[in-house]
Amino acid sequence: LQLDERRPPPETTEMNGVLMTKMMSDNWDKIWNFQAKPDDLLIATYAKAGTTWTQEIVDMIQNDGDVQKCQRANTFDRHPFIEWALPPPLNSGLDLANKMPSPRTLKTHLPVQMVPPSFWKENVKIIYVARNAKDCLVSYYHFSRMNKMIPDPGPWEDYVETFKAGKVLWGSWYDHVKGWWDAKDRHRILYLLYEDMKEDPKREIQKMLRFLEKDISEEVLNKIIHHTSFDMMKQNPMANYTTLPTSIMDHSISPFMRRGVPGDWKNYFTVAQNEAFDKDYERKMAGTTLTFRTTL
């Protein structure tokens, strides 16, 4: 047995068909009643869609490309993760958010129907990033092996089925990306795709700049692209999650900054798994205009 297979699983529970840790459900009243402010920015994603990358880009934009300022703290302390709490003495996202001066940038993985209502009431700007299902699945699988705060993924072939059934934290990928896609027509949501960001970071960062009503020089823009590249972020302790104890994330099992490319799923799916996945995908994604690229 490998060490990660012996760990006690965190307690989980389902709320309206969405799997959560018990820590989240115990705190649910507080999360649901969270008070968003009009000048907040929310970065919303399904887990493993490129959240940390987007957070670094946004922080660089907000700090006009000042790398030092962006190294003032870990990603998870710069941008409170509203529904998440870590074992003390680490801060819970809610506590961090509540004591953070405005303007705040916050993070969530909640499906759209579970976002605290104050975000809609205050008309908060939201950047949503989605990533193709197969790469999300592979990334989530490895992340679940190394992150002791989330359920053990079990063997790969089982995990493929668990993911398809949506029995993972934050629920079904399919419902998540579709729910947010529909919401973007009713709210101030910039909906981005990981594959587009990878293909042309400049173009996608420019979309973020317009959305955030920020103007920066070409020089700063190029600096942001460089500083937020996968290779740079992998070496950046304030962005790569290596400052957490191994009892929370064990990078020797799989690093947080793992591959950072579209198409890595091809190294994991068997031909049969891929065919079954595609068939099931077509059914679950029927009727949406949202489409993804699984390679570039």
**DSSP 8-state symbol, 187:** T
Dihedral of the alpha carbons of 277, 267, 204, 284, in degrees to the nearest 10: 0
Nearer to ligand A3P, 120 or 149 (CB): 149
List contacts with ligand A3P (CB under 6 A): 45, 47-53, 135, 139, 142, 228-230, 233, 257-260, 264
Give least dist CB 286 to ligand A3P, A. 26
Give least dist CB 257 to ligand A3P, A. 5
Which residues are bridge partners to 108 per DSSP? 44
Query: Which residue of the set 79, 109, 176, 227 is catalytic?
Result: 109
Nearer to ligand A3P, 119 or 143 (CB): 143
How many Å apart are CA 230 and CA 123, to the nearest integer? Answer: 32
User: Is 251 an annotated catalytic residue?
Assistant: no
Nearer to ligand A3P, 61 or 257 (CB): 257
Q: What is the CA radius of gyration of the chain?
A: 18
Nearer to ligand A3P, 120 or 263 (CB): 263
Give least dist CB 2 to ligand A3P, A. 19
Backbone φ, ψ for residue 145 (5° rounding) = -75, -40
Give least dist CB 79 to ligand A3P, A. 11
How many Å apart are CA 59 and CA 75, to the nearest integer? Answer: 9
Asked if the bond preceding 38 is cis, omega within 30° of 0, the reply is no
The residues annotated as belonging to the active site are: 109
